[in-house]
Structure formats: C-alpha cells, structure tokens
Chains A and B, each alone.
Chain A
Amino acid sequence: MSANLNVSVILPELILVGFAMLIMILDMVGTDERPIGRTFLPWLALIGVAVTGIVCLQQYSQPAASFQGGAISDHFALGLRLIILVATALGILLSVSYIPRINKQVGEYYALLLLCAAGMTMMGAATDLMVVFMALEILSLALYILCGLNRENPRSSEASMKYFLLGAFASAFFVYGAALIYGAAGSTQYDAIAKALAGSNTNPALLYPGIALLLVGFGFKVSLVPFHMWTPDVYQGAPTPVTAFMSVGTKAAGFAAFIRVLVIALPAQQPSWGWALAIMAILTMTLGNLAALRQSSLKRMLAYSSIAHAGYVLVGIVAGTSEGADAALFYLFTYAFMNIGAFAVVIMLEKANEGDALQNRAAGIGQRWPWLALAMAIFMFSLSGVPPLAGFFGKLFVFKAAVDGGWAWLAVIGMLNSAIGAYYYLRVTVSMYFEKPGAETLSQRSTWSPLSVGLAVAAIFTVLIGILPGMWTALFTGGLTGLGG
C-alpha cells in the first residue's frame, strides 16, 4: 500500500498551493497606481479555503489512503485540515482591511498565508519525519515573513527576526532528533519506526536523545515551557491578524504532527515521553497562567494565555491514547474560534498604527459597544472554560482523556490552572462591564467590515459548539489510523 501514489491524499494541499500561485500571478496584473483586481485577492483566497474545505469534507467518507508512505488521509489529518482552514478563513476576514493599512504588498500576503496553511495541513497528514520537516519549513518560512510585514513598526521586525533565529534553532533540533531516530530505527517512516522499535534490539543511546530533541523542536513550535520565550514578543510584534492566525494554526499543526509521531511511531516509549510531557504540561499551564496575570497589554495577555492552552492540550496527549488525540484535536477546533475571535476584538480596540491595545481600551465598552463587549465576554468565558461554551467541552474531553489514561492528578492540576486563568479573563469583563468609559476607551468603530463578520462567526460558533457539541465531535473521532493495513 505504501508504494501507491494517491494524489487525492495531498489534494487539499495542492489546491491551497494552486490558489497561492494564482494570487501571486493576479497580483502582478495591477500596479500601485491602478491596483486592478487587488481588492479581489482576499476573496479569492477565501474561495480557495472554501474549495479545500469541501474537498476535505468529501474525503471523510473515503477510506484512509497513503501517499507513498509519506502522508495519509485519515480522519485525524482531515480534522486538522478543517481546523487550519477555519483559522485561515477567519484570519483572512481579519486581514481584509488591516493589511492595506500596514503594507502595500497585499497579494504576497494572501499567497504566503495560503502557503503557510498548506504547510500546516501537511503537518497533520505526514507519516514520515522528513515530510514533517518539509511541512514545518514551508509553514515557518512563510510565517517569518508574515510576522515582519509591518515594516514601519520596529516591534514587527524584531518579532520576525526573533522568530526566525529561534525557529531555525528549533528546526535544527528537530532534524538532529529525526537523524538520531533514523539511526536507532533505520527508517523515517512512522510504521517502520514503530515496527523496528517494538523489538528489543534498539539502541537506546540513539533513540532517547532523538526523542528528546524531537520534543524540543515541537515544544518550540507549540510554545511549551521552557521553549516558550519567543511567544510573547512575537505575538505582540506581529501584525494582529497574523498573530491570530499563527496562534491557532502553528499550535494545531505542531500538535498534530507531534501526536502522530508519538502515538504511531513511538507508542512503546510512552512510559518515558509521557512523564516528560506531563512535567512540561504542568510547567506550561502554570507559568503561562501566572505570567498572563501580570499583563496589561491584551496581546501579551493572550500570548501567555495561549501558552497555558498549549499546556491543556498537552494534558490530553500525555496518555498517548487515540482518545487523547481526538480530544486534543477537538480542543484546538474550539480554540480556533475563541482565540481568533478574541484577537479580532483586539484589532477593533487597537489604535491606528500602534498594533496593540492595552486593557484600558476596553474599559466601559459594555455600555458603548454592547455587541462587541458581548462577543469578547463570550470569548473570555469560553477561554476560561465556563459551560456551556465551546471551551468547556474542549477542556472536558482533554481532561477526560487524561483521567481515562490514568493521569487524573494531572487533570486536577489542569483544572486548578483553569481557575487561575479565569482570573485574568474575568478582568477583561470587569473592565468592559463594571468600569466607566475612560479617556482611553475605544471611541470610534466602523459599522460593517469583514472583520466584524469574522468576529460574529467566531462568536456564534463558540456558543453553538458549546450547546450542541455532538454536531462537531463526529469530525474529530476515531481519527488516527496506522499505515500498516
């Protein structure tokens, strides 16, 4: 089976890349004076995402197939694709009026966004360490550029530079780890690795350092403590729509690849990596939450909160079960809506040319902009895990996977952490609803824009997934499939 060349397996990526190319070509048609068709580019990108989404949904009914042993189209890969596509679509809606403000190169922005998305979706499908590496580089290179898009703002350039340098290190760690595992198992394909490592004649001196280095590489991408240092600066400096997109996209892609490596290629080593992940999960949740408590910038607060959320996802993975894999994916699905929605509100609150909003911008908006405040309140409560919003079910499934895997104490630490987290999310609602509008409060707001559409969609889904979780869980159930059959 692994010799087959099923193009349909990588069809979603091909479509995304195709649309990226198309956008780049159309971008050249116009000039700066007469930007023919440029206003159409975001919508073209959105169509590309929609077409890919339809293809993915259709593939749910087909049996999983393999592309030369390098990638697979099981439900896990499709579930991740849906998450990435949701994040991309919302990211596009957030960008439509934002990007022209900071950069004239609108065309390359959307092309890079789609390429990045293609790399991310590939991460979930990859079943070979080399393919993962390739996908990782596709998404990372695109993101390095996207982060530095706002050339007027030194913070943006700093973010790009920092992300690039540290990201290059992390990639190197990953490749080194992959090389050591190849040394131990004699293959980079997951099923071959699992088969080789199931026997007793493996070389632990190669294998365990290899696994450790992989953890470092992935840990950087999904910002696990202690590899999280770049996150607040990059999230704060990058243009906010990019931050929104990458906070969900890289996290989902990184975790998907991570989960597949651990569960499919290295299941026999779970006793050792399980503990490493558990310790990292505790550190990540706790430090993320404690640091978020001290932030006055909304973007930095959300950056630290995203670190904490990476910790919650990790709690689901520790047991190394396929239930945990599904739960983690569902968590990221809910996270896509609530987190990008929160960033959309931040964009609304930003002052022109500042690229960030302090918490006092939100003071009293409950009176001045009731719908905006309501949406933000929904995101904040969902992020803190209050039922019946989407975030609650994400947490429920992840912690259930941990309890079922025998890690109940870890779930307890996770739940206590979500109580700490509730405090800083609550602080936003306090200033929105319980404080009077001040001099800094948002005073002008456009009435209709793609941004408000994105915001409304995110809010509606955050509530809808919470009330009817059963409608969505089917997309993220029984996901992981081995290559063997």
Chain B
Amino acid sequence: MASPIPYLLSLITFLPLIGALIVMALAGDGPKKRAAFITTLVTFVVSLLLWFNWDNGQANMQFVEDLRWLPEFNLRYHLGVDGISLFLVLLTTFLMPITIYFSNKYVTDSIGPYLALMLVLESAMIGAFIALDLVLFFVFFEFTLLPMYFLIGRWGSGNRVYAATKFFLYTFAGSAVMLVAILAVYFATGSFDITELPALAAKMSPTFQTWGFIAFALAFAIKIPLFPFHTWLPDAHVQAPTAGSIILAGVLLKLGTYGYLRFALPIFPEAAAHYGPVIAILAIIGIIYGALVALVQKDVKSLVAYSSVAHLGYVMLGVVAMNPQGISGAVLQMVNHGISTGALFLMVGLLYERRHTRLLAEFGGLWKSVPIFCGFFLVVAMSSAGLPGLNGFVGEFTILLGMYKHEPVFAILAAIGVILAAWYLLTAFRKIAQGPITNPANEANRLSDLKFDEIAMLLPLVLLFFIIGLFPNLFLDKINPSVQALINQQPAIVMKVGR
C-alpha cells in the first residue's frame, strides 16, 4: 500500500500523454522516434514500481488516489490497482516499447502523428484499467476508440477505412447502452464507485439487475469480442498496421474481459450468475468456431485474428466459472494472450516487412533460409497453442480446471479447442517453415534473417513465456487475494452454483 511516489498511478497514466505532446512539439523524425521510445521505456520502468512495492497479502485496491472530479454528480477521480488490474497495466506498459520500436523501424508514412496517437492510446488504456469510478472508466474506455480509429484508418492497409469505421461504430454502439445502464445504476444506488457498488447490489431489483447486466455484458461482449459479436475483429486486425494489431489484440480486447470481471460481475452478481451459462456457451462456440475458421485462413494475420476469438473464449470461460481457479486463470490468461498474440502479430509483421505478403501459399521452406526467425516462430506458436512449460499452458489449464469443478461438460467441450489450437498453429508453421522452398523469393540470398535489434524485440516476450510458464506463482500470488475477495463478495452466488 505504501506508494513510493505520490500520485504514482496518475503519473503512469499521463506520462505517455506528456510524451505525445513532446513528440508533436519536436521537429524531425529522428527526435520524434527517440522521444516516443524513451517515453514508453520510462513509463514501463515507473510502472515496475507497482510490482516492487506490491503488498502480496492485500486484496483491496493499492496505490489509491481519490479526488473530487464533479461533486454535483458525485463523480470522482478515483484510481487504484488490485491483483486483477496490476498485470494488465504492466502488460500495457511492457508491450508499448516493443511496438514503438517496431513502428520506428518500419513505419515510413508521417511517423510523428502515428507515434503521438500510439502514446495517447497507451494513456487511455492504462486509465481504463485503473479507473474505479464508472464514469471515469467509461471516459477512458471510449477514448481508446479515437486513436485506434485513426491508426487503422490512416496507416492501415487495403480496406482500412471500412475496417476503421466498423470498429468505431460497433464499439461505440455497444457502449452507448452501457452508459445508460451506468446512469441507472447510479440512480438505484447513489454511487458510481466500484469499491462501494458490490455492497449496494441489494438495492437493485432482479429485473433491474437483468437489464443492467445485459447492457454491460453487451458492451463488453462486443469489445472482447464474444461470438457472435466478433465480426468487426478480423476486419480491424487484418487492416490495422502491425503495432496497431499488437495493441488491439494484446491490450484493447482485454478491456472487454477486464470490464466484465471488474464491473458487470460485482455490480450485478445475481444476473451474472443467472446468465453465466449463456456466456459460457457463447465462449465455447467462440473457442471452437474461432479455431475452425483460423484453420482455413489463407492469410496468416487473419489466422492470428481468429485465434484471438478462440483464446478470449477461454478467458470468459474462466470468468464465468466463478471459482478461484477459473478467475485467477482468466486473469493470467489475459496476460498470456497479450504477450503470445502480441508476439505472433510481431512475427507476422516482421515477415510482412520482408516479403510484403501474408498469404500462407507464398511461403514454405523458410526453415532453410531464415532459421532464427523460424525458431522464434515455433516458440511463439507453441506458447499460443498452450505447450506445457510455456505460459499458455498454465492459463488454459487453470481455467479448464476451474470450469471442470463448476460444470464438467463445458470444460470437456472447451478442451477440444486446445487440440484445434495446436492443429492450426502447427499447420501455419508447417506451411511457412517446412517443406521445400517453392518460391524463389524465399531463398536465403533474397530473404534476410532476424537482425540483432529484431531479436532484442522478441527476446523479452519469449523470456516472459518461460517465466510465466515455469514460475506462475510469481504472478498468481499477487492475483489470488483479489480474486478471492471478488468471489467472497458474492456469497449468495457461490452457494447457488457451487456443486
């Protein structure tokens, strides 16, 4: 609880924003690139203070800041992190330097505004993960749309304007209804504060809870995206620039799962328990459907995009299991998916910058020409597929364990997805790396292997795969108390669904 610096969370949130202003003020691409990269590195280092000053025994919010924002409406500038949000903040600050480095290297078209938008996006995402006031959360949550919209629409490829508009309108429409639900919650309880709201849940009638829950769940289901609200995702991912895809998959989608866990569940506990099976079924459909569609993709990037639909299905499955294993696994899996899929998009981006195509048919036999690349690709694919010893396994296993306790049938069905994931990822690997070289453009003399700085970008991610895979308790120790507290808040629910 002891914060080494006052207003540490505000500092972490607004450092990137200040960096964005500096980037805009500087002249010349070189200084802009350096400023952006240094900003994200500094933000990451500062955010590590959260980790080092963390109180493992504390389940409540830490590093809390609470200021009046708009007293007439009881709006507060209330920030804090607990075990659930800590790693999402760290995931964001960790992924940003990597994506900025990649962009510095490969984005050529008006880099200044690009970097500024990326930094603004970082501020908005961090803000959304640490806001404890519903309206403040909503402000950050919605504001993430703007930079992402411009990143896809301006720097994307092919059908970028369509993809950007679809992304914006889908999410905007979803959250529009949530805003009314937020207002209704305030009307019923007199509070916008998530630390107070669980105790006030009794003030809401069952009908009210149902409608409020549906409104919240819809907004988050679109963001996650849960089947059948996923149709914006492949468009956005495929057209987005590489750094945009990494952030979109790595962090932005987590706003959906996080929002569900942090807000929809504690505010509407009874409705959440009642509709949990519906969410679980949608998640399982997403797991299997996403995997099957990924299997037949011709474009590597859309393959990774559909794999996200499947992976986030696991996260939601863990959340609705409503027991410590399920939810802790879900929180860990959010981080896992962030780094694994982030790394996958990074690999695809590196490949695309070399060959300017992402079609699987264009590749084959790369193992012979670019072995280092293929080595990394294999590790990343294995991490995403959930190979034991790597991060993905820990998350998925814990989730399935939690779900099995709660509802064995769901767990068994979801386990099919694990097999499918290995199948489509290995198929992709086989098509890219193995076999003979069929296209002369893939010969060793035409295709360069990973350079030192590109390895340096991938290495932190790969190290993290192993750290999480081998020492999951480093993370779970910090996650578990908060998850336990979340579950304890809803004794009625545990009794109702516990077997």
A residues lining the B interface (CB < 8 Å): 381, 384, 386-388, 392, 396-397, 399-400, 403-404, 408, 411-412, 415-416, 418-419, 422-423, 426, 430, 433-434, 469-470, 473-474, 477
Contacts and interface: CB of A to CB of B under 8 A. Distances in A.
Given A399-B180, A400-B73, A403-B187, A386 B169 contact: no
Given A433-B153, A470-B71, A415 B180 contact: yes
B60 interface: no
B165 A418 contact: no
A386 B140 CA distance: 10
Contact of A434 (B68, B145, B154, B180): B154
Nearest to A414: B180
Given A399-B179, A408-B180, A470-B69, 18 more contacts: A386-B172, A388-B139, A396-B183, A399-B180, A400-B73, A400-B187, A403-B183, A403-B184, A403-B186, A404-B183, A408-B183, A416-B176, A418-B176, A426-B149, A434-B153, A470-B70, A470-B71, A470-B72
A20 to B, nearest CB: 36
Contacts, number: 85
What is the interface of chain B mostly: helix, strand, loop, or mixed?
A: helix
- In the A-B complex, the 8 residue pairs with the closest CB atoms: A415-B176, A419-B173, A387-B139, A403-B183, A470-B70, A411-B180, A434-B153, A400-B183
A134 B368 CA distance: 88
A415 B173 CA distance: 8
B139 to A, nearest CB: 4
Interface of B: 68-73, 135, 138-139, 142-143, 145-146, 149-150, 153-154, 160-161, 164-165, 168-169, 172-173, 176-177, 179-180, 183-184, 186-187
A416 B173 contact: yes
A191 B172 CA distance: 44
A381 B139 contact: no
A408 B173 contact: no
B24 to A, nearest CB: 10
A411 B212 CA distance: 13
B184 A408 contact: yes
B13 to A, nearest CB: 13
A404 B187 contact: yes
Contacts of B186: 400, 403
A419 B169 CA distance: 7
A430 B165 contact: yes
Contact of A419 (B72, B143, B176): B176
B70 A473 contact: yes
Contacts of A419: 169, 172-173, 176
Contacts of B179: 396, 399, 415
A430 B180 CA distance: 28
B72 A473 contact: yes
Contacts of A386: 142-143, 145-146, 172
Nearest to B173: A419
B153 A430 contact: yes
A386 B150 CA distance: 14
Contacts of B150: 433
23 contacts: A386-B146, A388-B139, A396-B179, A399-B180, A400-B187, A403-B180, A403-B184, A403-B186, A408-B180, A408-B187, A411-B180, A412-B180, A416-B173, A430-B164, A433-B153, A434-B153, A434-B154, A470-B68, A470-B70, A470-B71, A470-B72, A473-B72, A473-B73
B155 to A, nearest CB: 10
A469 B70 contact: yes
Contacts of B145: 386
A411 B142 contact: no
B177 A415 contact: yes
Contacts of A433: 150, 153-154
A253 B180 CA distance: 28
A376 to B, nearest CB: 14
Nearest to A415: B176
B255 to A, nearest CB: 14
Contacts of B187: 400, 403-404, 408
A434 B169 contact: no
A388 B154 CA distance: 22
A381 B146 contact: yes
Contacts of B153: 430, 433-434
A386 B144 CA distance: 10
A377 to B, nearest CB: 9
A485 B135 CA distance: 38
B268 to A, nearest CB: 15
Contacts of B68: 470
B165 A426 contact: yes
B161 A430 contact: yes
Contact of B143 (A387, A418, A430): A387
B79 to A, nearest CB: 15
A430 B166 CA distance: 12
B167 to A, nearest CB: 11
B186 to A, nearest CB: 7
Contacts of A388: 139, 143
